[in-house]
Structure 1
């Protein structure tokens, strides 16, 4: 499936390239085109190489992460910019994109540098060279709380989403979430799928797993205790869900985290 997506993307890129006046682009210079993204104050734009290292970032990106100039961020990857459990997810995302999985206007909750969660709309694409080889990725993300239109769109599920974020460790039923949104269960599920591309149950599960990963990396608590704290009553089910979502068992992540701490590096 991924390979097929890449082929479709390459075909579309070839078609676009035939329409573009390459001589004109050569004359004005690619750097000037890239710097145009500095004119988008509410949009973070970046280019990464195959190792998820920043090659270019616009001014909004620099401002968000507190960098005074581009030289300070070039060569860094996400584990230098975000908490370990968030950085790992971003880099896994990059690998999927470079394998052909396109991300288009995906609405998501991300942790901001100030420690607060906010809504974002993210688009990512593989970066191709002139031989149509994937050499990295690029992307945009928009802070939705600065867009009244987008906020009005996701307000329908704001109450249940906030409830899940604050109470993920408790036993939460879909019926309870539907009541919070003043919707039927079927209507709630439709809206979650429309705005988050997932069911309420899956969103709850992912929030629990994200918090479990954070605790595995940032604390020394026993894995069974972390599972329980994050709303998983069965250790085997927790391990199965964790591996399906992150590609490794909780014990494997904990081992890598301990080794990284001993070596003074990052995961």
Structure 2
């Protein structure tokens, strides 16, 4: 692949590069990237390049998430991309748990927006990710809930009561649920489930542990409870998910 030609031809299709440039200019401490309709990277800033485990932008051009991230994470990113590309709807400030370049687990705020051609067709998407722990005052609302996010991250394998989470930030249960939903656009219970599913996905693709053992270790009541929620969130059963990864 002539990567420079690929990059220039794609950018030439865009109605105006400013639609991407403005997004980058107003977000400090940001990882940003641009993809074409097939999910191939067209550009990325230095921080995003490092997040991919690469040294230069040239190493990511023309490649996809599957070239750089574990299957579970890559599929999650691609599913979000498909939503944006198919519907034209943006994903704004979604909270995601992922390793940073130093391989520490951190919370990121992700935004993805469609990119249009001069003729008005969606030809790709632009995205940003911000590390909550580094973005400072710009993400103050999120840092207010940091203790809650860390508690869920560290204790997802155990039963988690919403009242206990509310107590961590000195709010009543109703106040906490409203505040959490306002900030993250998701209920606390769905967030807990998302973390458990993410942890289980990693176990399914990196260990030979039985599905029943993974279910219990990741905070699910039993095999049935795990399978039902996994299918609801991932679109496939744990068994099929593992088989796809092995294939």
Q: TM-score, normalised by structure 1?
A: 0.77
- Select the residue among 55, 79, 101 that pairs with 2:42: 55
* Larger helix percent: 1
Preserved CA contact (<8 Å) 1:38 1:58: no
Query: Could you say what secondary structure the match of 1:145 adopts?
Result: coil
2:139 and 2:18 map into 1 onto residues whose CA distance is: 33
How many aligned positions are there? 232
- Select the residue among 186, 202, 215 that pairs with 1:198: 186
Q: TM-score, normalised by structure 2?
A: 0.83
Q: Aligned pair 1:144/2:132, yes or no?
A: yes
From the superposition, tell whether residues 66 and 199 of structure 1 become closer, same or farther in structure 2 (CA, over 3 Å).
Answer: same
1:128 and 1:31 map into 2 onto residues whose CA distance is: 10
Gaps of 5+ in 2: 1-11
Q: Aligned pair 1:214/2:208, yes or no?
A: no
From the superposition, tell whether residues 109 and 150 of structure 1 become closer, same or farther in structure 2 (CA, over 3 Å).
Answer: farther
Question: In the TM superposition, what is the alpha-carbon distance from 1:180 to its structure 2 partner?
Answer: 2.1
CA RMSD of aligned residues (A): 2.6
Partner of 1:77: 64
1:147 and 1:135 map into 2 onto residues whose CA distance is: 30
From the superposition, tell whether residues 195 and 65 of structure 1 become closer, same or farther in structure 2 (CA, over 3 Å).
Answer: same
Partner of 1:153: 141
Question: In the TM superposition, what is the alpha-carbon distance from 1:66 to its structure 2 partner?
Answer: 4.4
Question: In the TM superposition, what is the alpha-carbon distance from 1:59 to its structure 2 partner?
Answer: 2.8
Larger radius of gyration: 1
Partner of 1:254: 242
Cα offsets for 1:182-230 (capped at 9, x unmatched): 2111111112102211111111111111101111111111111111111
Matches within 5 A, 1:12-161: 42-100=29-87, 101-161=89-149
1:33 and 1:178 map into 2 onto residues whose CA distance is: 40
Cα offsets for 1:243-265 (capped at 9, x unmatched): 11111111110111222xxxxxx
- Select the residue among 235, 245, 248 that pairs with 2:233: 245
Gaps of 5+ in 1: 1-25, 260-267
Q: Aligned pair 1:231/2:211, yes or no?
A: no
Preserved CA contact (<8 Å) 2:71 2:205: yes
- Select the residue among 173, 194, 210 that pairs with 1:185: 173
Preserved CA contact (<8 Å) 2:99 2:106: yes
From the superposition, tell whether residues 205 and 34 of structure 1 become closer, same or farther in structure 2 (CA, over 3 Å).
Answer: closer
Preserved CA contact (<8 Å) 2:231 2:237: yes
1:220 and 1:128 map into 2 onto residues whose CA distance is: 44
Cα offsets for 1:104-140 (capped at 9, x unmatched): 2334333223322223232211222233222222112
1:189 and 1:179 map into 2 onto residues whose CA distance is: 12
Partner of 2:152: 164
Question: In the TM superposition, what is the alpha-carbon distance from 1:30 to its structure 2 partner?
Answer: 6.7
